[in-house]
Amino acid sequence: MNDLLAGLLEVQGLADIGCPLDLPETSPTIPENALQKARYVYENFGVNCFSEDTGLEIEALGGEPGVLSARYAGEGREAEANMQLVLQKMAGVESRKARFYTVIALILDGQEHLFEGIAEGTIRHEKSGTDGFGYDPIFQPVGFGATFAELTKAEKNAISHRGKAVRKLIDFLTSLNP
């Protein structure tokens, strides 16, 4: 983020401002979770900030795991267990349409702004690839014959949900300082 935002603003991590690394995420939606985390930092530490929340939404599962993506298989936040639960629930399901959905919440001088990014794709029948994290080994983006875990970092960043949301954030910040 520092590289992408160079010249626009200085990015500090939670540890840099003495904030606990596990922020509250109790809201029922991804946008509300992103805002909840940003509001916590802004209200408790008095700094302009942004946070994000991301979820994998699978059409055949009614949008699951969605807002619970990190904890889908339990509070342990274990990526492998989460993937296995998705694959188990998707066994025998023909329609594999899914999307990653990211929201970045920016609080700048008390004003709240949201930036969304979506990556459409499908859920593979089995894991493939070793790069990335989370559900990357089972998510194949539209237009590619590979999973996120098989793409190069540059390829993934160009099409990913987070990449799209970050570019919108950068465009907004750039518009403030032409």
Q: Which tens digits make up the pLDDT trace of 96-132?
A: 999 999 999 999 999 999 999 999 999 999 999 988 8
Q: Can you say whether residue 46 is alpha, beta or left, with left for phi > 0 and alpha for psi between -120 and 50 degrees? A: left
Q: Which of 149, 154, 152 is nearest to 129 (CA)?
A: 149
Q: What is the dihedral of CA 134, 17, 34, 71, to 10 degrees?
A: 40
Model confidence over 63-93: pLDDT tens digits? 999 999 999 998 888 899 999 999 999 999 9
Position 4 scores a pLDDT of 64
Residue 106 burial (C-beta neighbours within 10 Å; 0-12, 13-18, 19+)? buried
Residue 61 · residue 135 · CB < 8 Å: no
> Binning pLDDT at 50, 70 and 90, where does residue 6 land?
low
On whether the 15-176 domain is CATH 3.90.950.10, my answer is yes
> Binning pLDDT at 50, 70 and 90, where does residue 178 land?
low
The CA distances from residue 16 to 10, 11, 20, 43, 75, in Å, are 12, 10, 10, 16, 26
Q: Which of 53, 109, 136, 171 is catalytic?
A: 53
Amino acid at site 15: A
Position 48 scores a pLDDT of 92
> Binning pLDDT at 50, 70 and 90, where does residue 20 land?
confident
Q: Is 53 a catalytic residue?
A: yes
Residue 18 burial (C-beta neighbours within 10 Å; 0-12, 13-18, 19+)? exposed
Q: Give the global pTM.
A: 0.92
DSSP 8-state class, residue 91:
T
